[in-house]
Chains A and B, each alone.
Chain A
Amino acid sequence: QKEVEQDPGPLSVPEGAIVSLNCTYSNSAFQYFMWYRQYSRKGPELLMYTYSSGNKEDGRFTAQVDKSSKYISLFIRDSQPSDSATYLCAMSPLNNAGNMLTFGGGTRLMVKP
């Protein structure tokens, strides 16, 4: 079983739609959960950062973590064509040596005008 799984998509939605992106994971040691956006051939850009279970909202983005189900989600409201990118979930355990991230494979999102 892969540590972090993510549907590769592509996910195609019309402008203004609510987008739901998800990841499942198998390692119960993961405590920190992140969502990154990556445009083609560019570096990952941090969108959301959450610790443990619960919801976190930032503008049009809401991140949800359900540790009991080992399932995390990112919701994008009022999606825009500029949101078209690959969305990567990433997670890490709590440790003192540094924040070693394990990434999902990414979901490619296309928002059509």
Chain B
Amino acid sequence: EPEVTQTPSHQVTQMGQEVILRCVPISNHLYFYWYRQILGQKVEFLVSFYNNEISEKSEIFDDQFSVERPDGSNFTLKIRSTKLEDSAMYFCASSESHRGTIYFGEGSWLTVV
């Protein structure tokens, strides 16, 4: 069964450092997303991406965040200068269409120290 894959599964970084989380969405999907889940809290939407541009973003997705699809398969989330409160599980997801079901990856656990 096709799946969304994410790397790394866990990353520890120092506050102020840049982090790039990588994702390979399901191959025929056209919409890509990043969500995050702080430990013990709700899964929260960060950003959606379609046709090589951001289609929607939440208030969490401020100037320190950016997304990119550098080639035909990868989708990345960059956090420019990490803060302690960025510690969370980051989920990449994809869907075939804007009404399609959203499939999530296993997540990248980011710890900022």
Contacts and interface: CB of A to CB of B under 8 A. Distances in A.
Interface in A1-50: 32, 34, 36, 41-46, 49
Nearest to A103: B43
Interface residues of B, number: 29
B107 A98 contact: no
A34 B48 contact: no
A32 B99 contact: yes
Chain A interface, >50% SS class: loop
Interface in B28-77: 31, 33, 35, 41-45, 48-50, 55-56, 58
Interface string A92-113: 0011111111111110000000
A97 B98 contact: yes
Given A95-B98, A98-B55, A99-B100, A43 B42 contact: no
A59 to B, nearest CB: 16
A105 B104 contact: no
Interface of B: 4, 31, 33, 35, 41-45, 48-50, 55-56, 58, 89, 91, 95, 98-107, 109
